[in-house]
């Protein structure tokens, strides 16, 4: 018994695969984005090894999310110096994650916005942790 597939059936199968992938792309595009606020900003000042002041329309203090550096006076000067070199005076993007916030106050810590800082596509928070100037969790 010979099994033959004609070109018509192959073309129909390819069209079906194409349509399924197209529908997948359409439905994937309709997913709701993660709640967050993303703002262009300029780093106005580095306060310590895990806090910067950014210039938006108004100036606000930002506590870097998932980035814990020692406090100044307790060995935190190297972290502040590194963050200053990485960020001060540079254009950046600030992302404030709202996905786990139940109220607006959940994105603040001691009067600072908790956020992720991006400069030239690089995550400054992760870079400080990777280089050993901070830890991802509070020690």
**Does the pLDDT value for residue 128 go beyond 80?**
yes
Residue 19 pLDDT:
57
DSSP annotation string for the chain = ------HHHHHHHHHHHHHHHHHHHHHHHTSPPPPEEEEEEEEEEEEETTEEEEESSSEEEEEETT-B-PPTTTT-HHHHHHHHHHHTT-EEEEEEE-TT-SSGGGGEETTEEEEEEEETTEEHHHHHHHTTSSBSS--
Mean pLDDT of 2-18: 55
Angle (nearest 5°) at CA 79 between 77 and 83: 120
**Does the pLDDT value for residue 98 go beyond 70?**
yes
Lowest-pLDDT choice from 13-22, 35-44, 58-67, 104-113? 13-22
Domain-wise residue ranges, the chain: 36-130
Mean pLDDT of 90-111: 89
Per the prediction, the chain carries an average pLDDT of 83
Class of the CATH domain delimited by 36-130 = mainly beta
**Does the pLDDT value for residue 79 go beyond 70?**
yes
pLDDT digits (tens, 9 = 90+) for 29-62: 556 667 778 888 899 999 999 999 998 866 789 9
Buried b (16+ CB within 10 A) or exposed e, 41-56: bebbebbbbbbbbbbe
């Amino acid at each position: 018994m010979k099994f033959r597939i004609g070109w018509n059936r192959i073309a129909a199968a390819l069209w079906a695969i194409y349509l399924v992938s197209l529908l997948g792309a359409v439905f994937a595009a309709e997913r709701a984005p993660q709640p967050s606020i993303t703002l262009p900003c300029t780093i106005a000042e580095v306060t310590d090894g895990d806090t910067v002041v950014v210039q938006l329309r108004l100036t606000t203090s930002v506590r870097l999310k998932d980035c814990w550096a020692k406090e100044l006076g307790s060995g935190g000067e190297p972290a502040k110096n590194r963050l200053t070199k990485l960020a001060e005076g540079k254009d950046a993007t600030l992302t404030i994650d709202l996905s786990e916030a139940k109220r607006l106050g959940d994105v603040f810590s001691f009067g600072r916005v908790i956020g992720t800082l991006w400069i030239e596509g690089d995550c400054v928070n992760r870079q400080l942790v990777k280089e050993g100037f901070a830890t991802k969790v509070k020690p």
